[in-house]
Amino acid sequence: MAHLVDDKCIMCKHTTCVSVCPVDCFYEGPNMLVINPDECIDCGVCIPECPEEAIYQTDDVNDKWWKHNEYFSTTGGWPNITDEKDPMPEYEQYSKSSEDKTKLFKAK
Ligand code: SF4
Ligand code: F3S
């Protein structure tokens, strides 16, 4: 079981989630965050902190967001983020968007 971040975070990156995580398992990319599923202790306190409802819990290791979160929080080399900061400047345009924002994703 782990908590994961999905594409609803892309271009928003509010970062309110990181300030509540007791094990500091969020990692930051250019336009989204991910969670390290091996470090997450499934406390669930980050879920209500995300205005985009981008965080969810699953036990499916084949979930595409599991692989994405796992990769970028480890091999992909994104840095750990522990302090909240301003959201992305464009967040109002992309907030609550019903579109699949995957195409906007940037790995670096
Ligand atoms: Fe951190 Fe808890 Fe959210 Fe996991 S569920 S990412 S441990 S706040
Ligand atoms: Fe992203 Fe939501 Fe955190 S938009 S940075 S998962 S608060």
Mean pLDDT value across residues 26-47? 98
**Each residue's pLDDT tens digit, 12-31:** 999 999 999 999 999 999 99
Look at the domain 2-83 and name its fold.
Alpha-Beta Plaits (3.30.70)
Instruction: Pick from 42, 58, 59 the residue to mutate for probing ligand 1's pocket: most ligand atoms within 8 Å of its CB.
Output: 42
Q: Give the residue whose CA is nearest to atom 3 of ligand 1.
A: 46
Averaged confidence pLDDT in the chain: 97
Q: Determine the atom of ligand 1 nearest the C-alpha atom of 42.
A: 5
65 sits in which H/E element: helix 64-72
Among 39, 98, 97, 46, CA closest to 69: 39
Mean pLDDT value across residues 4-9? 97
Q: What is the pTM of this model?
A: 0.97
Residue 99: which pLDDT band, with cuts at 50, 70 and 90?
Answer: confident
